[in-house]
Amino acid sequence: VPLLLGVLGQFLVMPLYAYCVSRLASLPKPLSLGLVITCSAPGGGGGYLYSLLLGGDVTLAISMTLVSTVVAAAAIPLSSALYGRLLGVHAALHVPFVKILGTLLFIAIPISLGMLVKLRLPALTRVLLALIRPFSFVLIVGGIFMAYQMGASILANVRPQIVAVGVTVPLLGLVVGAVLAKLAGLAPPQRKTVSIEVGVQNSLLALAVMQLSFR
């Protein structure tokens, strides 16, 4: 059920929201399509780290990221074609399958090693978990700082209206995920995870799609 909720939130609700809010904000059509592509991206951006720090279900978070990354290979072109048609923007999207495969391997290989360690060396697993939590916090804070450093100069030249629309995307995703999980009667750790996975998109994958498609 949580995996299905993630797919529903990420690939149905979020792209629909992107289309609606872009029309309400009267964004240019290319920007609107870019927002749809971003909102059609799978979970990512270290969502499982947030789940770890906030007491979510880390195993579920990793599973949702894996599933959504696979589904995205079909969902991104489909949602982009649908909303591109509604927007009157016609473009042939190029899905970066190599990047998707790289993302899957990046997740699957460490997780496989982690499962092996957990089975063979449970005592070591407890020690590693105690170390990983503060390290994850440092990674997230460092990532936010780097994103700010790289994006501050870009955002300075972007209309506040566009920035405001962008800010609403993860917030809406968090709310959608939380509501869907609550309606499904999931336990609190799973609710947190579904909320995070729907709200945190792999924006780098969306950027790769746009760079390949609109050069």
Cα–Cα dist 28/32, whole Å:
6
Q: Is the pLDDT of residue 116 over 60?
A: yes
Residues 6+ positions from 212 with CB-CB distance below 8 Å: 93, 94, 96
Please state whether the predicted TM-score (pTM) of the whole model is above 0.85: no
Cα–Cα dist 161/128, whole Å:
44
Looking at residue 165, its pLDDT comes to 83
Looking at residue 183, its pLDDT comes to 92
Q: Contact, 90 vs 108, CB < 8 A?
A: no
Looking at residue 169, its pLDDT comes to 86
Q: Contact, 96 vs 212, CB < 8 A?
A: yes
Looking at residue 179, its pLDDT comes to 93
Residue pLDDT, tens place only, 62-75: 888 888 888 888 88
Q: Residue 201 pairs with which residues in a beta bridge?
A: 43
How much of the chain exceeds pLDDT 70, in percent?
A: 70
Q: Which of 14, 63, 19 is nearest to 41 (CA)?
A: 14
Which has more pLDDT, 31 or 209? 31
Residue pLDDT, tens place only, 140-165: 677 667 766 666 666 667 777 887 88
Report residue 97 as tokens.
Answer: 């399958």
Residue pLDDT, tens place only, 156-203: 677 778 878 888 888 898 999 999 999 999 999 999 999 988 888 776
Looking at residue 89, its pLDDT comes to 77
Q: Which domains does the chain have, with CATH numbers?
A: 2-213 (1.20.1530.20)
Query: Residue 66 to residues 44, 73, 99: CA-CA distances in angstroms?
Result: 9, 12, 13
Question: In whole numbers, what is the pLDDT of the chain averaged over residues?
Answer: 78
